[in-house]
């Protein structure tokens, strides 16, 4: 699993995720800062990254495709670095526990609170 962290989330998530075995690239560190959401979505698809964002509205509109590498949406905004990690870590551990490297393909995970998340297929099969 590889994650692309949107630019409004903490780049510290890169180190925290790496500590549990997940490769993460942050948008600013990849030189993608200021790029449009469609550009980031295409980049994620071309490089096999699941996108992590709080920008639900714009990225959900981009799900109208047959195949995508996945989307994780933190549904709360203005979260501290620690709060972001408290919401993302249980999701990453859930994905890792599946043992399926392609688990996120065509899936969306919406995170409502620490440990409170919903996994769904999008587009629905």
Q: What pLDDT is recorded for position 57?
A: 87
Domain limits of the chain? 2-121
Beta carbons of 29 and 35 less than 8 angstroms apart: no
Tell me the whole-structure pTM to 2 decimals.
Answer: 0.95
Q: What pLDDT is recorded for position 64?
A: 84
Beta carbons of 88 and 74 less than 8 angstroms apart: yes
* pLDDT tens track, the chain, 125 positions: 999 999 999 999 999 999 999 999 999 999 999 999 999 999 999 999 999 999 998 998 888 888 999 999 999 989 999 999 999 999 999 999 999 999 999 999 999 999 999 999 987 64
Q: What pLDDT is recorded for position 124?
A: 61
Q: What pLDDT is recorded for position 125?
A: 47
Q: What pLDDT is recorded for position 105?
A: 95
Phi, psi of 5 (to 5 degrees): -90, 120
Burial 52-79 (b: 16+ CB within 10 A, else e): bbbbeeebeebeeeeebbbbbbbeeeeb
Beta carbons of 36 and 59 less than 8 angstroms apart: no
């Amino acid at each position: 699993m590889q994650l692309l962290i949107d630019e409004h989330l903490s780049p510290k998530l890169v180190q925290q995720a790496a500590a549990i075995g997940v490769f993460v690239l942050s948008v600013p560190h990849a030189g993608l800062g200021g790029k449009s959401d469609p550009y980031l979505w295409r980049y994620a698809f071309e490089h096999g990254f699941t996108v992590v964002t709080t920008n639900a509205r714009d990225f959900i509109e981009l799900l109208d495709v047959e195949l995508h590498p996945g989307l994780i949406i933190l549904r709360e905004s203005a979260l501290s670095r620690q709060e972001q990690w408290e919401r993302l870590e249980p999701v990453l551990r859930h994905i890792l526990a599946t043992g399926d490297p392609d688990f996120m393909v065509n899936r969306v995970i919406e995170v409502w609170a620490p440990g409170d998340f919903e996994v769904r297929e999008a587009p629905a099969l």
